[in-house]
Amino acid sequence: MNGQPVRPPRVASRRLTSATLTAGVLAAASCFVVAGAAEFTGRATDPGSMTDLAVLVSGLWALDPWAWASLGTFAVVATPALGLVATAWEYAQAADRSAFALALAVLAILVLSGLIAVLR
Amino acid sequence: MSAALIAFVVSVGAGGFGSLVGIGGGLIIVPVLSVGLGHDVKEAIAASLIGVIATSLSASPRYLRSGLVDRHLGLLLLVAATLGGLAGGLTAGYLDERILALLFGLLLAGVALQMLRQMRRPNPHPPIDDADLESNFTSSYVEHESGEVVTYRARRLVPGAAVSFVAGNVSGLLGVGGGVINVPTMNVLMHVPIRVATTTSTYMLAATATASAVVYIASGQLDPVLAAPVALGVIVGARLGARLAMRVSQDVLRLAFVVVAAVFAFSMIREAVAL
């Protein structure tokens, strides 16, 4: 170390990523609580395809536990991607190009996963 | 007690322990849902992946705010891990489960032994020199117990990324977080302190599991009514685990990891041989 002071690292804020993940998990948990409450009160459930948007929307309106559980699941799956968008923005603000590129690369792979899954 | 309530209670425990040692809880959730509650194995894996993501999402904000997550390193490893997760999700069902179980059991046993050796013969992290300070993968954190600032440099990035690909693949195939591989890889192979390795692994789990979870959703193998109590349970458990993680010593974390890895290694090898 030669007695020299340690170079301060380039620090990107973590607040936006942290807030995004927290918001996502709270949204998902809220949907799951609604699903649990609807099931507990004996609401009829009509499982359909999670990728059928019309069935999902009508199920949400009818307080179908399956539909609310599906919405919560979508919130869970979407949150990591939104977190990566927030991370990329934070690194862009800190002018940390390598970390910015890494965040975008991971985001691109997640988008690719979604596309492959749907088109398969 | 209803099946949903049992799944919830088990998931609280799995989520708490998972976030504490950075493994995501899938190692506990999958066998309980399939063997204990009689769900189809693929449904159990898909529900577990949603639980793994929820564990990571629930614990990561606290870890990020405390500065314990090495985000730069985590993103580098995530490039490989998410590709592995996607490959795992796509190939699930085409591979012989017995061989996978056997290999995974052996891997777990090896990990447990390696971590045990590290406990008995601690290997201090290599000293940091001037060249290290220029690296993007030199970082530091404040040790909660002592207040000491610990500076380290992640080493062997390419082998580490290669192992992360395998961890992502295992995650997609078996519905586990992949932390059981990531934590020792970062700690033993890459010389990252165990506390940073566990928190960074937890941070990585969400994106890794998402890459394969979308494949399960699109193929209709995910039952959201099963995933809901699992995810809710691990969210509650992971919050408790994340609070505890700041206060538990590194040796306790290491020992807990060794015990869990050894137990599951034994049960997986036994299952593989018995099939």
List the single residue in A28, A51, A77 with the smallest CB-CB distance to B213: A77
To the nearest whole Å, the CA of A21 is away from the closest chain B CA by 6
Residue A104: pLDDT band (50, 70, 90) is very high
Confidence band, pLDDT 50/70/90 cuts, at residue A7? very low
CA distances, B78 to each of A47, B122, B160, B235 (Å): 34, 28, 11, 22
Q: How many residues does chain A have?
A: 120
- Of A56-60, A69-73, B23-27, minimum mean pLDDT range: B23-27
On whether any CB of chain A is under 8 Å from the CB of B129, the answer is yes
Helix, strand, coil share of chain B (percent; to 5): 75, 5, 20
Q: Name the percent of chain A lying above pLDDT 70.
A: 88
Q: Which residues pair with B139 in a beta bridge?
A: B152
DSSP character for A101? H
For residue B69, pLDDT over 60 is answered with yes
Does the CB of B139 have a partner CB in chain A at under 8 Å?
yes
Which DSSP category does B175 fall into? S
What does the pLDDT look like over B182-234, one tens digit per residue?
A: 888 898 889 898 889 989 998 999 999 999 999 889 888 899 999 999 999 98
Whether the CA torsion B34, A80, A14, B125 is positive or negative: it is positive
> What residue ranges do the domains of chain A occupy?
15-119
Alpha carbon distance B243, B62 (integer Å) = 8
pLDDT of residue B34: 75
Cβ <8 Å between A77 and B53: yes
Kindly identify which residue of chain A lies nearest to residue B79, measuring between CA atoms: A106
CB spacing of A77 vs B214 below 8 angstroms: yes
- B28 within 8 A of B17, measured Cβ to Cβ: yes
| Integer Cα distance of B14 and B200 in angstroms | 18
**pLDDT grade for B124, boundaries at 50, 70 and 90:** low
SS3 of B77-95: HHHHHHHHHHHHHHHCCCC
In three-state secondary structure terms, B149 is strand
Residues in Cβ contact with A116 at an 8 Å cutoff, skipping those fewer than 6 apart = B86, B90, B215
User: HSE of B103 in the Cβ direction (CA atoms, 13 Å)?
Assistant: 13
For residue B133, the Cα-to-chain-centroid distance in whole angstroms is 29
Is the CB of B61 less than 8 angstroms away from the CB of A19? yes
Of A50-59, A76-85, B99-108, B173-182, which one has max mean pLDDT?
Answer: A76-85
Contacts with A108 from chain B: Cβ below 8 Å: none
User: In chain B, which residues have their Cβ closer than 8 Å to the Cβ of A82?
Assistant: none
Q: Which of B71, B76, B83, B153 to mutate to test the interface with A (most CBs of A within 10 A)?
A: B71
pLDDT, tens digit (0-9, with 9 covering 90-100), for A26-63? 999 999 999 988 888 877 666 777 777 888 888 899 88
Cα A24 to the chain's mean position, in Å?
6
pLDDT at position A1 is 43
Is there a contact between A117 and B217 if contact means CB atoms under 8 Å apart? yes
